[in-house]
Amino acid sequence: MRLLIVVSAVLLAISPCVAKIPEVPRFRIVGPSEGLPSTMVVAIGQDRAGYLWLGTLDGLVRYDGAGFRTWRHDPADPASLPCNGVQALHVDAQDRVWVGCGRTLSVLDAGRSRFRHYRAIDSPLLKNGEIFSIATFDGAIWAGTTTGALVRIDASGRMSSVNLGELEGALDQAMVMNLAVDDRHRLWIGTSNGLAYYDGKGLHREYIPDEPNRQSAIFGLQWTGDRLWLGSESGLHVLRADGRWQPFAWATMFGNGNEFWGAVAAPDGEFWLGSGRGLWRTRGERPPVPALSGEGPLSRRNVIGLMAAADGGLWVPMHGTGLGYLPADWKRSAVLKPAAPMGDAIYCNLAPAKRSGGLWQVDAQGRLLRVDPSTGEAFQTGLQSPHLKGMELVSALEDGLQRVWLGNLSFGLSRMDLRTGEFIHWPSDGPEPASALSAPEWITEHGDTVWMAFIDMVQQRDLRTGKVLQRITQQDLHGLRTIDIQQLEQGPDGRVWVAGEGGMFAWDDASGRFVPVPGMAGAQIQAFASPSAETVWVYRASGAEQWQKVADRWKRVRQVGEADGLSGFDASAMQIDPHGRVWISSLRGLWRIDPSAHPARVRNIGTRDGLTSQEFIQHCLLMSGDTLIGATSDGSTVLLDTAMPDVAAFVPALQLEHVSVLRNGARIALPMDRPFQLGPEDRQLQVVSRLLSYSDPLSNRYRSFLKGFDTDWQTTGNSGIREFASLPSGNYELALQGIDPLGNRSQVRSLQFSVRPPWWRSDIGIALICLSGLLLSALLAAAYRRRIRMRAQWQLAQHKRELAEQASLAKTRFLATLGHEVRTPMTGVLGMSELLLQTPLDGRQQGYASAIQLAGKHLLRLVNDALDLARIEAGKLPLDYRDFDLRQLVGQVAELVRPSAEQKQLAFHCALDDALPPALRGDASRVQQILLNLLFNAVKFTERGSVHLRIAVLPQHTQQGIRVEVRDTGPGMSAEQRGRLFQRFEQAEGALTLARHGGSGLGLAICRELAAAMGGSVTVSSELGQGACFVVELPLRWVSTLPAVTPSAVRARPLHEQAPLRLLLVEDDATVAQVIVGLLQTRGHHVTHVVHGLAALAEVSTRRFDAGLCDLDLPGLDGVALVAQLRARGVRFPIVAVTARADADAEPQAMAAGCNGFLRKPVTGELLAQALARVLTDVDDGENDGKASGA
């Protein structure tokens, strides 16, 4: 124990020293997986634009940090690379790329598309040798060959040579292996037989002092760091700028087997040397040491053609691996693996050693180690305890009493005394217990107390005894919003601060509660750090914020977010270095914010900067001393020298890589060096830019601003692509800028272009549109005037139509009234004449009575025709579509017409096509009316000859329609007569026809209207003296079967064959009643006549009747209401409505009220007999059906 105390005392007495982290270079390798076509890189160059050029054994390669472009040999293209194995590479002052490829010297043009060749077979000066070295000297290109030729190509392309044979040693027979130019305007020539130089006036031989072989081959030749470095068979030699040779004791290590190939001066005074056995690093007289990449050698093979990068870094070709890049600030960071296995390394296993400096660490054997950040070595302190063995630390704190508080998963909370080695544990089941759910994630010292935050509680303990003074839980938050603590630390005002939900809270001793820090309420704070009592930095999900104390409140004075390159992430921890820079660890690496720049410079440090892992452990970012940040990541320790100055600022180049647009479905390349114009149909303008900064190409950021379109700079992250789906017409200027990870900004690159408007927005288009507008206005004005005129005409026509409709309606009403008024007295005329003819009369009386009857029937036809026209005009012409027997209908028509024709001694012929169907569906009565009108007209106007009726199939129609032809041998008609023929009240010869043949002139007009109502037509063809032919086409649907004959029609018998009936007649007109009674009595029936409905009701209630006849227009209770009353009282005898109404609604109304039949006045005895027979038969059928169903 005494030894333990002594060792601890000695350890704690060690004074902190100036820290310097280990120098462990880590190269970023660019190889085939990144697109490098060949790992055999033999030469490197960089043009003025900033592109990196690589000469490989598989072509010439250009690298822009994001991708590669390769030029190779194409046998079909004489302007392609002459071969794929590039042996030499040089970029001249005119930015031309020269390559030595076999026995050909080639130069790539400025457009980077075609090579111009200087072939040995065409140029004797090249002596048919292969080219291994190219340089620029005196404004011309110099090239050396393996056959001893040294040629010069001036600006005009003229080739000349320098004769190396003038010098001692037969250099004209030696291979020219290297060329180099120093700052004294000399071209150094390294050959296989020695060294020489050319000063513009002549050749001079140079011998290496103490060189055993004066004609030793020169393997490497490089001017760098104000001195000429060369390698020979005997080793490495250096010629200083003052002309003196600088000897090195270790020079021979670069002799045979390890030949020197090249050197690069580093910015800090060191030199990098490439040789046959890898890469070396030296400073001053110190012997070179092999360059490592992490813990292993960078390469054990030839390193040829290494080159200093423009930003201070180093490019190193590594055969078999690819191209290595070492950033200029590689000494800033180092990654140290733990001295012993650290388990899963998911918890922080480091703690700052406050008094001894460095870091505390516990290994797997339970030993307490102190890690020296300057070397990465872990020193044993002599303290070892079984309690430490296997302990997984979550947090640690060395307090002012030389004790270490350990938050761990083994015991929850432990404390180790560094002076005595004593251990105290506070498990969850012991006195003053810690949390049972977790170890404390945060431990901080505050006065004579120590605060710690667990997952489920916050505790305040006495610093000496460990007694719990305060216990804050979810049930008793003491002012907090939640117990989920993001950070617990001593704040800038000396109080304990807690970051979490709701912002920032501080412990108030007076109230014993956490109170909100004034001004800092808001979204969750994940981490904070304070560089002074007046300033604090916090991190939220939206970014980092700087707060300044003003009076008694905190005010946010700065915010760094995504626009500054700080992408949204969850912070693990935060620290601030002595220079005021903010460091934030996360699962996406380490972020540094330099607030001294405006805007703030943000840099991300991750695996591309040499870290083995970028996933930093939660709450494990520490400051050891003042200059080091130590963090554990994936089981390793990351050390960063925050005092090391940044790489000198420079302006990286931004180049336009590609500009294209989608035109007619194909992507078209656009010029990048001059303005261009886009068409109105062009889409998806794409501009690709590259920032030629190679420190971390994947972290380069781009932004752009399209004047006239964008309102502010638009960031595109690490993608240098800006694309516009479509742009309105106009002139544009696209400003582009790149920013590298160190915050270096390129010059703003501009791209000017314009977008043509569509033709309708061009000057000519606008002029045309204006003219069209004027023309349209004139047309609209004319149209408006025409519309006003047409509206007036329409209004006039409408007025006339209304007047015509009113006149037509009045005419229709008049005709309907006239028909009604005429039919009633006509009943008396026709009925009385019929009764009169049934009495004994002499011949003269019989003639008088027959004349009266014929005149009455003619008058009735005139009234019916007028009523049909009225219905047609009113659009109320009823059509009763039913299946009817076509041949039966034609036979009936023929039987009616034939007597009239025979009376005039005319031949009457009737013919039907065999193809006609047996039946049609239509209004049979109207079809019969058309046929009768046409046939009677033909008979009437034909004096001699014949009348023909032919019915055929309607042409060009299948299964539909008939065609009727009525042809006569009458006088015929002229064209003028045919034009008037179908007009109402018109006849062929006007008054002469009327006087000769009679008639009203309505028949043909009605025929045409009826045909049109059925969808057909009536036409006539006739010439004077040639007769006439009327054609009727009716598109009636064919029916394949004949209509069924109703039982009532089969069984109906004439009334005189029936027994006498008791009939009730309800009629208010005495004459009509007398006629009907007389017609029925002559047939043997008993008729009871009443004049109104009430009398009818009385008769029915006292007497029994077999049938009834009822007028619809009765005084008081009309016929329809009377029939309804009778049916309501249970009267079941059939009732026939007898009315003078001519409207189409009369019959449906009567049938709906309960009538069984319907007759229009005037009536004849035969009509009455048929109607009564029909309704009585229907009643008998109904009774028989009822009996059958009952049975």
Cα–Cα distance for residue pair 229/240, rounded to 1 Å: 9
How far, in Å, CA of 239 to CA of 246, rounded? Answer: 6
| Mean pLDDT per 10-residue section of the chain, whose length is 1191 residues | 27 38 84 92 93 95 94 95 95 94 92 90 86 94 91 92 78 87 94 91 88 83 93 92 90 89 91 92 90 71 88 90 90 74 58 65 75 69 79 84 88 89 90 91 92 95 94 94 93 95 94 94 94 95 94 93 86 91 92 89 83 85 71 76 83 93 94 93 94 89 93 90 93 94 90 91 85 90 90 87 74 66 72 76 77 71 69 70 88 86 89 89 87 87 90 81 91 82 59 46 79 88 88 89 57 56 90 87 90 89 92 88 90 90 81 90 84 82 51 43
Beta bridge partners of 795: none
Cα–Cα distances (Å) from 1058 to 1084, 1156, 1170, in that order, read 9, 19, 12
Burial of 60 per CB tally in 10 Å (0-12, 13-18, 19+): buried
List strands edge to edge, sheet with 485-490: 485-490, 496-500, 503-508, 513-521
Residue 874 carries which side chain, given as an amino acid letter? A
Q: In which region does residue 563 sit, left (phi positive, over 0), alpha (psi from -120 to 50) or beta (all else)?
A: alpha
**Helix (H/G/I), strand (E/B), else coil: 1172:** helix
Contact 1027, 1006 (CB under 8 A): no
Q: Which residues pair with 723 in a beta bridge?
A: 686
Residue with tokens 């963090």: 631
Among residues 77, 111, 84, 112, the alpha carbon closest in space to that of 100 is found at 84
Burial of 1118 (C-beta count, 10 Å sphere; 0-12/13-18/19+): middle
Residue 859 has a pLDDT of 73
Tokens representing residue 627 in the block: 């200059």
- Whole-number pLDDT of residue 7: 27
The amino acid occupying position 87 is: Q
Long-range contacts of range 648-651, CB-CB < 8 Å, 24 or more positions apart?
648/267, 648/312, 649/742, 649/743, 649/744, 650/310, 650/311, 650/744, 651/744, 651/745, 651/746, 651/747
Euclidean distance between CA atoms 489 and 498, whole angstroms? 7
- Residue 118 CB partners (closer than 8 Å, separation 6+): 104, 105, 106, 126, 153, 159
Q: What residues contact 477, with CB distance under 8 A and at least 6 apart?
A: 483, 514
Backbone angles phi, psi at 371, to 5 degrees: -95, 125
Of 292, 288, 265, 375, nearest to 610 by C-alpha is 292
Quote the CA–CA distance of 418 and 5 in Å, as a whole number. Answer: 8
pLDDT of residue 154: 92
For residue 29, give both structure tokens: 């390798």
Tokens of 146: 């393996």
- Interatomic CA distance for residues 540 and 524, integer angstroms: 6
Distance CA 914, CA 125 (A): 113
Q: Say if residues 306 and 274 touch (Cβ distance below 8 Å).
A: yes
For 49, the token pair is 């634009």
What residues contact 1186, with CB distance under 8 A and at least 6 apart?
none
Whole-number Cα distances in Å, 624 to 18, 21, 859:
11, 12, 133
Which residues neighbour 878 within 8 Å (Cβ) at sequence distance 6 or greater? 871, 1144
Cβ atoms within 10 Å of 1182's Cβ, excluding its own: 14
- How long a stretch of residues is the chain? 1191
Q: How far is CA 530 from the centre of its chain?
A: 47
Q: Is 9 helix (H, G, I), strand (E, B) or coil?
A: helix
Cis peptide before 531 (omega within 30 of 0): no
Angle between helices 1093-1102 and 1119-1128 (to 10 degrees): 30
Q: What is the DSSP string of 657-719?
A: EEEEEEETTEEEE--SSS-EEE-TT-EEEEEEEEEE--SSGGG-EEEEEEETT-SS-EE-TT-
Give the residue among 759, 580, 608 at the shortest CA–CA distance from 679: 759
The residue written with tokens 């293209």 in the block is: 77
For the CA atoms of 802, 807, 813, 817, the dihedral, rounded to the nearest 10 degrees, stands at 170
- Which tokens belong to 739? 């920013």
User: Which tokens sit at 873?
Assistant: 């005009």
Q: Please name the residues in contact with 1017: beta carbons below 8 A apart, sequence gap of 6 or more.
A: 1008, 1011, 1032, 1033
Residue with tokens 């619809």: 1112
Distance between first and last Cα of the chain: 130
Cα 608 to Cα 280, 589, 611, 1099: the distances in Å are 22, 10, 7, 122
Distance of alpha carbon 33 from alpha carbon 687, whole angstroms: 26
Strand 1107-1110 relative to strand 1135-1139, pairing: parallel
Separation CA 248–CA 233 (nearest Å): 15
Burial of 473 (0-12, 13-18, 19+ CB in 10 A): middle
Q: Residue 1184: what pLDDT?
A: 54
Q: What single-letter amino acid sits at 791?
A: R
Cα–Cα distance, 408 to 402 (Å, whole number)? 19
At residue 628, the 3 state secondary structure works out as: strand
Give the model's pLDDT for residue 413. Answer: 94
- At 356 the pLDDT is 60
Task: Tell me the domains of the chain and their CATH numbers.
Answer: 39-269 (2.130.10.10), 498-646 (2.130.10.10), 653-757 (2.60.40.10), 879-1039 (3.30.565.10), 1053-1190 (3.40.50.2300)
Instruction: Find residue 431's DSSP bridge partners.
Output: none
Q: Nearest CA to 176 among 209, 113, 219?
A: 219
Q: Report the distance separating Cα 518 and Cα 1020, nearest Å.
A: 108
What is the C-alpha to C-alpha distance for residues 1179 and 1048, in angstroms, rounded to an integer?
A: 9
Written as one string, the DSSP assignment of 1024-1076 is TTS-EEEEEEEEEEEESSPPPPPHHHHH---GGGSPP-EEEEE-S-HHHHHHH
H/E run at residue 767: helix 763-837
Which ranges in 272-412 belong to alpha helices (H)? none
Cis peptide before 599 (omega within 30 of 0): yes
- What are residue 554's DSSP bridge partners? 549
Q: What is the per-residue pLDDT for 106?
A: 96
pLDDT at residue 998, rounded to an integer: 46
